[in-house]
A and B are shown apart, each in its own frame.
Chain A
Amino acid sequence: MNWPTAIVHVDMDTFFVSVERLHDRSLIGKPVIVGGGQDGDLRRGVVAACSYESRAFGVHSAMPLAQAMRLCPEAVIVPVGRSNYGEYTSRVRTILESFTDLVEMASPDEAYLDLRGTDLLHGEPIGAAHHIRSRIAAQTGLPVSIGLATTRTQAKIASKLSKPSGLFVVAPGGEAAIVRPLSISALPGLGPKTAKRLNGANIRTLGQLIDAGEERLVRLLGDHGASYYRRAIGKGSAQVTPSRERLQISTEATFGDDIGERELIHGKLARMTMKLGSQLRKREQWAGTLTLKIRYPDFTTLTRREGIEPRTNDDTILYRRARDFFDRVWDGATPLRLLGVGVANMGDAVQGDMFEDEDGRKRERLLQTLDSIGSAKGNARLIWGSALEAKNPPAAPPEME
């Protein structure tokens, strides 16, 4: 079979749940919901992941936990963050990168691969996709669904069709035929509002969407219409951007009880920036921008960004900058419902300074040691003194945007 482009979409099935099940076999076969807010508070949490058993009750991710518990009272609730999901994400990533450098981690449990140039080592795309699936299963014990197609959109649709734990191939030229019977909401990125508008125009399946034609879709939906049309017929993007170039790493936490004590918030910032620094060092990148997000109880949300010169991946510098930045942005009185911090504008090179103080060099060696201990012990919790103020780590693992 001749593949002009071969894009693989890797989707870890109920990722957080699967990881928790590796650690606690008793969860297998039961409805499981992973979720919760900061400090294990379930009142404000949302569903981060849910098993297929709980989905049967109508539970889905991003649903408020309270609602999920009403829908599925027998579900076992596992607080998010009990296991180190990041560890599994990076294991999966390492496996994927053994196939090709062109791996884009779209989220902690989702990745795109461009298989170009892998035929000599791994054979035909279909064979390679099989290998990817079996290697992830064998080496991590996690179930994974794989979609193979000529574009990103079709690959993602394919992985969904393959669930659970399957492989689905959309052969070149077969794109339109495969998607025709599917509901329009199967098209990634087509949200409920657009679906409603299309339904109003009597377009319910992707077949109807394709038949409507580009011109009519543009009339209905503006420029997006053209994009939906192109992606549905298999003319969408096949661009895979290796994650090295990803634009931002951020982490945020919603607090069980709003917090308004500056020192406590600084402690949280310390933990978050440690996490960011360690991620940057793992990637051998240096960040040039710091982002800050705070949300007050009335849901007023402030997001700010500022430059860091020279670029850094040093926890201490990131923390000091984040703390000072926070102190300038926060009104100093209103408690916080949510706190987030991130880094962006990454560079893969940094100009050395010959007079960089001896402290800086010592700290760099120390950080390297901490990083290696951290990865050797898996979930090791080595933290700076300032971070001890905050009792619990941020709820959500770093998100990729």
Chain B
Amino acid sequence: MKATFSRQTLLSGIGLTQNIVSTSSTLPILSNLLFEADSSGVNLISTDLEGFAKVRLEATVAEAGRVTAPAKTLADIVRSLPDDEVALTTSGTRMTLTCNRNVFHLSTMTADDFPEWPKSESGVTITIEQSDLRRLLRNTLFAMPGRDPRKVLMGALVEVSADRLTIVATDGRKLGKASTEPTEFKGEGEKSVIIPGRVLTEIEKSLGDQGEVKLEISDQRAVFNLDNLKLTYLTSLIEGKFPQYQSVIPETFTRELQLPTALVDDAITRAAILAERKHHSIILSFGSGMIGVRAQSFEDGSYEGEVGIDYDGEPFKLAFNYNYLHDVFRVAPDATITMMVKESTAPVVFVCASDANSLYLVMPVRMHDLQGEEAEPAGVGAGDHA
């Protein structure tokens, strides 16, 4: 194989694929990238067996061929090179990368051992704007757990119908739900699948402001085509039953407040410094015209702050893990976020006016301090002014 790329093309191609690899020692080839050169260009492919990534790179190909080389090493090499043409040649089991007056020789592994790209299956296909999908992923993926024995939570629920694409992710403590209208829908009926979070995180990074995404969903897998980037992600689905998220979203509320996103987030940042390390809890007390933000660490000390808000209802208190509030405030697009409360043991709903199709849930912390202060039938703890 002999091909010449611009350094920038090669670097961005490696960037789009290098995270869909597996570093487990059982199948070392999974830590490699596959180069497939034909007369008109080069496909760069990676896989961790669960997911596959493929990007078509512009290149001048003098000799077609296939070869694999370690993703991380390639990334390090190309990143280090000057901005010039990079020539890639293979001879035997070696790959040579030449750029300017720099020459790297790399050990390779035969492309024959690289897993085959799965065959396509029939299913439904929807088309949406890339910017739309990016918004949906931003508003949901934050709620996915880093690790969880419940496998279904390690992915996002993707529900597709002719007029709706809805994505939901949750770790049971927080939840993000967002939906949009597809520009095009092909196929029959509705599909509801769980797509692994790892691939979705990569896709979110690749999505731009321009262009569309074509999403094909079959019974076994999902394929994302980003045509303008000549980029394809394919992933197998997570089997199992996603929690009944609709049933935990409260429909009636006893309180509704508008919070200044940045000011409240800042106060939470301050409170977090002295939040109890065991459970990261802070207490929000909502009173006439203000929110009190309070944290107390048994060992270290305490914080109390106030943020002015437009509220004149009954005072009440809620405790939260500050991380989850940060997560929501970070993705919320508006300067003001609406908080809706049913009771202190139910998830609290956050929504933004500019995006009626997204909502966030945060489950409050049950705290000793707040209990016994519950005065109203609604079950929300009464505050100091009650």
Residue ranges of A at the interface with B (Cβ–Cβ < 8 Å): 244-245, 284-285, 288, 311, 345, 347-356
Contacts and interface: CB of A to CB of B under 8 A. Distances in A.
B172 A356 contact: yes
Given A347-B276, A352-B365, 9 more contacts: A347-B278, A347-B279, A351-B279, A351-B365, A351-B366, A352-B345, A354-B172, A354-B173, A354-B361
25 contacts: A244-B368, A245-B298, A284-B368, A347-B278, A348-B369, A349-B281, A349-B366, A349-B368, A349-B369, A350-B366, A351-B363, A351-B366, A352-B173, A352-B345, A352-B364, A352-B365, A352-B366, A354-B170, A354-B172, A354-B175, A354-B243, A354-B248, A355-B172, A355-B244, A355-B248
B106 interface: no
- Max chain B CB contacts within 10 Å: which of A347, A348, A351, A356? A351
Nearest to A283: B368
A196 B214 CA distance: 86
Interface in B349-374: 361, 363-369, 371
A311 B175 CA distance: 21
Given A354-B361, A355-B243, A355-B248, A348 B367 contact: yes
Contact of B365 (A284, A285, A349, A354): A349
B248 to A, nearest CB: 4
Interface string B86-123: 00000000000000000000000000000000000000
Contacts of A354: 170, 172-173, 175, 243, 248, 347, 361, 363
Interface residues of B, number: 25
A164 B369 CA distance: 38
Question: Which 5 pairs across A and B sit closest by C-beta, in order of nearness?
Answer: A348-B368, A349-B367, A353-B172, A352-B363, A284-B368
A349 B298 CA distance: 13
Nearest to A285: B368
A353 B363 contact: yes
B156 to A, nearest CB: 15
Interface of B: 170, 172-173, 175, 243-244, 248, 276, 278-279, 281, 298, 319, 321, 345, 347, 361, 363-369, 371
Contacts of A352: 173, 345, 363-366
A34 B172 CA distance: 50
A350 B279 contact: yes
A353 B369 CA distance: 19
Contacts of B363: 351-354
Contacts of A348: 367-369
B278 A288 contact: yes
A345 B278 CA distance: 9
Nearest to A356: B172
A355 B244 CA distance: 8
Contacts of A353: 172-173, 363
A349 B365 CA distance: 6
Given A245-B298, A288-B278, A351 B371 contact: no
A284 B321 CA distance: 18
A288 B278 CA distance: 9
Contacts of B361: 354
Contacts of B173: 351-354
Contacts of A350: 279, 365-366
A276 to B, nearest CB: 17
A345 B172 CA distance: 23
Contacts of A244: 368
A350 B172 CA distance: 13
Contacts of B248: 354-355
A355 B319 CA distance: 19
Given A352-B365, A353-B173, A355-B248, A284 B347 contact: no
Nearest to A284: B368
B279 A349 contact: yes
Contacts of B364: 352
Contacts of A356: 172
A352 to B, nearest CB: 4
Contacts of A345: 278
A349 B276 contact: yes
Contacts of B319: 349
B281 to A, nearest CB: 5
A94 to B, nearest CB: 14
Contacts of A245: 298
Nearest to A355: B243
B347 A351 contact: no
Contacts of A351: 173, 279, 321, 363, 365-366
A345 B279 CA distance: 11
Contacts of A311: 279
B10 to A, nearest CB: 45
B71 to A, nearest CB: 34
B246 to A, nearest CB: 12
Nearest to B364: A352
A351 B278 CA distance: 11
Nearest to B175: A354
B154 to A, nearest CB: 14
A353 to B, nearest CB: 4
B287 to A, nearest CB: 21
Nearest to B344: A352
B374 to A, nearest CB: 12
A74 to B, nearest CB: 49
A16 B345 CA distance: 41
Nearest to B371: A284
A18 B144 CA distance: 57
A185 B59 CA distance: 90
Contacts of B170: 354-355
A242 to B, nearest CB: 10
A353 B245 CA distance: 12
- Max chain B CB contacts within 10 Å: which of A245, A311, A349? A349
A397 B279 CA distance: 30
Contacts of A285: 368
B174 to A, nearest CB: 9
Nearest to A288: B278
A285 B278 CA distance: 12
Contacts of A349: 276, 278-279, 281, 319, 365-369
A351 B345 CA distance: 10
Contacts of A284: 368, 371
Contacts of A355: 170, 172, 243-244, 248
B172 to A, nearest CB: 4
Contacts of B366: 349-352
Contacts of B281: 349
B284 to A, nearest CB: 13
